[in-house]
Amino acid sequence: MIARTLACLLLSASLFDTAQARDYRYSDAHLHYVDFFQETEGMPALLKAMDEAGVEQSMISGIPVAKKWHEDEPKRPRYYAGDDADAYWYSATDLYVAAALEKLPAEQRRRFHPFLTGFNPVDKNAVSHIERMLELYPGLWQGIGEVFTRHDDLTALTSGDTPRANNEAMTRIYHLAAERDLPVLLHSNITSKRERNPLYLAEIEEPLRNHPHTRFIWAHAGSSMEIHRHQERMDFLLPVLNRLLEDYPNLYVDLSWSVLEPYLLDEQGVPRQDWVELVVRFPERFMLGSDVVGRFGSIGEQMHAFDPFLDALPEAVAERVSRKNFIELLPKRTK
Compute mean pLDDT per 10 residues along the chain, 335 residues long, and list them.
Answer: 50 46 94 97 98 98 95 87 88 98 97 98 97 97 97 86 95 98 97 93 98 98 87 92 98 95 94 98 98 97 97 98 98 66
Quote the pLDDT of residue 15. 44
For the chain, the straight-line distance linking the first and the last C-alpha, in angstroms and rounded, comes to: 42
What's the pTM value of the predicted model, to 2 decimals?
0.92
Tally Cβ neighbours within 10 Å of residue 102. 10
pLDDT at position 333 is: 59
| 191 is a domain residue | yes
CATH number of the domain within which 208 lies: 3.20.20.140
**E strands, 140-273, in order:** 143-148, 184-187, 216-219, 251-254
pLDDT at 224: 87
What pLDDT, on the 0 to 100 scale, is given for residue 155?
83
Backbone dihedral angles phi then psi of residue 170, each to the nearest 5 degrees: -70, -30
The bridge status of strand 87-89 relative to strand 65-67 is antiparallel
Q: What per-residue confidence (pLDDT) applies to 328?
A: 97
Provide the pLDDT for residue 264: 97
Residue 165 phi, psi dihedral angles, 5° rounding: -70, -15
Residue 335 falls inside a structural domain: no
pLDDT for 152: 86
Q: Is position 11 within any domain?
A: no
The pLDDT assigned to 263 comes to 96
User: Does residue 87 lie within any of the structural domains?
Assistant: yes
Burial of 143 (0-12, 13-18, 19+ CB in 10 A): buried
Give a yes or no: residue 15 inside a domain.
Answer: no
**Domain for residue 16, yes or no?**
no
pLDDT at site 307: 98
Where do the DSSP E strands lie in the chain? 26-28, 55-60, 65-67, 87-89, 112-116, 143-148, 184-187, 216-219, 251-254, 286-287
Asked whether residue 270 is domain-assigned, the answer is yes
Q: Would 3 be classed as within a structural domain? A: no
Residue range(s) defining the domain that contains residue 232: 25-329
The pLDDT, as a whole number, for residue 293 is 97
Number of domains composing the chain? 1
